[in-house]
A and B are shown apart, each in its own frame.
Chain A
Amino acid sequence: MFDWIAKGGVITPFLDGVVAGTALTLAASACAFVIGVALGIVLLLARISPIAPLRSLVVLWVSLIRGTPALIHMLIAYYMVPALLNISVSPITAGIAALACNTSAYIVEILRGALGTISWGQRAAGYAMGMRTAQVWRHVLLPQMIYRSIPPLTSEFTILLKASSLMSIIAVPELATVARNATLQTDLPLQVFTITAAVYFVILFLISAASRLCERRVSRMLPHGH
């Protein structure tokens, strides 16, 4: 079994590359997720604003992102946007931007769902205590919303991490790219992709397990969704 994988050392350079590739996959995903959450909050504010055109724009954005493949988002971010704006971007920047935009459309819906579970009374109570709208958001609504959306947000993160493998299409040297190059060099696709799949599996499985744990914690702390 071990010999089948190691193939007398041919695969060793790939194993070294896996570490760097995994690090980049994790870093890029985390980065895209943070930007995605920030973007999601901004989109949420626009989505529930009293200005109708702004609301429609967010609805259109969500529909466009959800209705097109993540792979196309990568190509648009790397080829189309730079061509339109006459700028040049590095693959990693384009990759993170594409992932962040992609995830923002899902995050805004998660946050909207979480906001829906907080009753209007809390907002009224905030105002009654003399808070301004920004303060109500900062001290009353956002903390509860983020707290309540932790389980769906973790599951969105696993989806984002899986989608990050698509960055290999625009040659970001993350895990999938490392694997693809190693196959070309060693001609051992079975071994290389099995190891790659195992690495992804372990990472994603751990995150899912953490998410389930989180979910139980949150549901215990919020016994009745008010």
Chain B
Amino acid sequence: MAIDFSIVREAIPPLLEGLRVTALVSAIGIPLGVVAGIVAAYAAQSRTWLRPVALSYVELVRNIPYLILVYLSFFGLPKLGVGASAMTVAIGCTAFYTGGYFCEILRAALRSVPRGQTYAAFSLGMTFWQAQRHVIAPQMFGFITPPTTSLVIMMFKDSAIFSVMSLPEMTYQSNLLTANTFAYTEVLGTTALIYWICSVLLAGVGRRLETVIGRRTRHV
């Protein structure tokens, strides 16, 4: 079977339109998730009731398939009287999931910095948050960059799941195109190729960041 390049050419504009939605969901959802992850990681470190809450949150994210979370939010929320658009649910799910995984990354990174460092900062008269900002955080960046890059790529790819709630992202556009043309090879091939290029670019940015941070932290 030969590949019909005219179909590929026609498929690219709607797919890129979908990519815009995919990118928008990731660009809003992932940073929100990072914030949630930071909050959860510090909550898990505390010795209050916040600790079990944060740990349960991480376990929920790790042990429930993304698709089920998306179904539960999209079909379940309206039953609770919370009307949310597919876009809101998509951003919310991205943030919820990213948060759980980023919390795990941060927790491992926090453990990698020796406790003596915190004590040393305290003995210099720093407050808890000053110590975090000037002493702990700069040492963690090198540690968290590689897993965070993988996490960003994972969340970007997994946004394909939002096609089940008819959010017009790239996979949904691809499904529309295949339903109309039956040109599975051309359309799915192009879609996969665009996802791949984006992932490779994101991985490249991650590697670049690693070298920049590596160069910075050598002087600390």
Contacts and interface: CB of A to CB of B under 8 A. Distances in A.
Interface string A182-202: 010000111001101100110
25 contacts: A67-B195, A67-B198, A68-B195, A69-B157, A69-B158, A69-B195, A71-B163, A72-B160, A72-B174, A72-B192, A76-B188, A79-B188, A80-B184, A83-B1, A86-B1, A162-B66, A168-B67, A176-B68, A189-B72, A189-B75, A189-B79, A200-B63, A201-B60, A204-B62, A208-B63
Contact of A197 (B68, B153, B164, B171): B68
A69 B191 CA distance: 10
Interface residues of A, number: 39
A75 B185 CA distance: 10
A79 B65 contact: no
Determine the main DSSP class of B at the interface with A.
Answer: helix
Contacts of B62: 204, 208
B178 interface: yes
A79 B160 contact: no
Interface string B175-215: 10010000011001101100110111001000000000000
A197 B93 CA distance: 15
Interface in B131-170: 153, 157-161, 163-164
Interface string A131-149: 0000000000000000000
Interface in B25-56: none
B200 A63 contact: yes
B69 interface: yes
Contacts of B198: 67
Interface of A: 63-64, 66-72, 75-76, 79-80, 83-84, 86, 158, 162-163, 165-166, 168-169, 176, 179-180, 183, 188-190, 193-194, 196-197, 200-201, 204-205, 208
Contacts of A165: 65-68
Given A183-B75, A190-B80, A200 B185 contact: no
A73 to B, nearest CB: 8
A67 B200 contact: yes
A194 B72 CA distance: 7
B75 A193 contact: yes
B76 A71 contact: no
Contacts of A204: 62-64
Contact of B65 (A176, A188, A189): A176
B76 A79 contact: no
Contacts of B60: 201
A193 B71 CA distance: 7
B59 interface: yes
A75 B67 contact: no
A200 to B, nearest CB: 6
A64 B196 contact: yes
Contact of B63 (A180, A188, A201): A201
A81 B160 CA distance: 20
